[in-house]
Amino acid sequence: MNATVYRSTGSWYDVKDETGQLWKARIKGVFKIEGLSSTNPIAVGDVVSMEIENEDTHIATIAGIHDRHNYISRQSPSHRRQHHIVASNLDQVLLVATIKDPRTSNGFMDRFLVAAEAYHVPAILLINKQDAWKEKDKAKFEEWSAIYSQIGYQIMAVSVQQGTGMDGLHALLKNKTTLVSGHSGVGKSSLLNALIPGFTLRTKEVSGWSGKGMHTTTFAEMFDLPDGGRIIDTPGIREFGIVDIEREELSHYFPEMRAVLQECQFNNCLHVNEPGCAVKQAVSDGSISPDRFASYLSILDTIKENEWE
């Protein structure tokens, strides 16, 4: 029987079978996913084949894993050469961001988009707290909207608190598996509460009193949407690592640069100060946003640093 992984807590997984029944499952045997050394053999979103161990207690064994369409991983903090798979089989990733209180930086959004490109997952930018915008904030949204929609990203404004823009969001999420991300304070919890019935309850249930304080789970968790579709929450994960990107390939993850870089004079052009650079030309004639180019240079810099570590 096939089942989908909804939650992972160490060696146990919550899986849902095709009839919608939940099971507590553990792995039988050894899993090795070729070409990738990961700290977790199974991740949220994985489709597994499951064998029932105990019908009454709903305990099952995971006997195999189906090929992943895609996945998002990050570098393991303790083992730099190993990856931790955050989630798999995603239709899209959604970044919750804000223009004020707090202001999400362009750099942060662009790093998210580069990661999404590198993992081949479509990305959506959801700009929350529209209700709090003054004229200059509206202007900022218009500016972002022009930049990002022109290069092919969905960007939309909402107020989770007031419910504005939520119809459009529901339409985007319907029947899709969407991983939701965002830094602290942007209203991600408020959003998930609005989308997922019982979200607060579920979160409380997985947290516990450890003696040192409430510990909240840092595992990704998947939830069903009432109208079809699934949401993956990644508590505690602030940013996906841009793992394994070479300096020479970074510009391929900026769609607007990808479109012109064949015209650079040198085919290994990094678009920094090489002569005959089509990307720099596009920045100066206004067809590539200077903010996006600044993000490119700043990410390029961090890749340079990594090489020396």
Residue 182 binding: pick among ligand GTP, Zn ion, none (C-beta 5-8 Å cut-off by kind): ligand GTP
Extract the tokens encoding 222.
């998947």
Nearest approach, Cβ of residue 173 and ligand GTP (Å): 17
Nearest approach, Cβ of residue 263 and Zn ion (Å): 8
Best CA proximity match to 231, nearest among 240, 220, 218:
220
SS3 label, residue 303: helix
**183 is known to lie in a ligand binding site:** yes
**250 binds Zn ion, rule: CB under 5 A:** no
**175 is known to lie in a ligand binding site:** no
Nearest approach, Cβ of residue 164 and ligand GTP (Å): 8
**182 binds ligand GTP, rule: CB under 6 A:** yes
For ligand GTP, the binding residue among 189, 234, 251, 295 (CB under 6 A) is: 189
The answer to whether 154 and 185 are in contact (CB under 8 A) is: no
Neighbouring C-alpha atoms within 13 Å toward the C-beta of 136: 2
For ligand GTP, the binding residue among 51, 131, 248, 301 (CB under 6 A) is: 131
**257 binds Zn ion, rule: CB under 5 A:** no
> At residue 194, what are phi and psi to the nearest 5 degrees?
-70, -30
Nearest approach, Cβ of residue 277 and Zn ion (Å): 3
Extract the tokens encoding 267.
């085919």
Mapped to the 3 state alphabet, what secondary structure does 148-160 carry? HHHCCCEEEECEC
Quick one: residue 99, left, alpha or beta (phi over 0 = left, psi -120 to 50 = alpha)?
Answer: alpha
- Where are the strands (E) in 118-205, listed by range? 123-128, 154-157, 177-181
**84 is known to lie in a ligand binding site:** no
- Please give the residue ranges that form the binding site for ligand GTP (CB under 6 A): 128-129, 131-132, 159-161, 182, 184-190
Annotated binding site: 128-131, 182-190, 264, 269, 271, 277
- Please give the residue ranges that form the binding site for Zn ion (CB under 5 A): 264, 269, 271, 277, 279
Annotated binding site for GTP: 128-131, 182-190
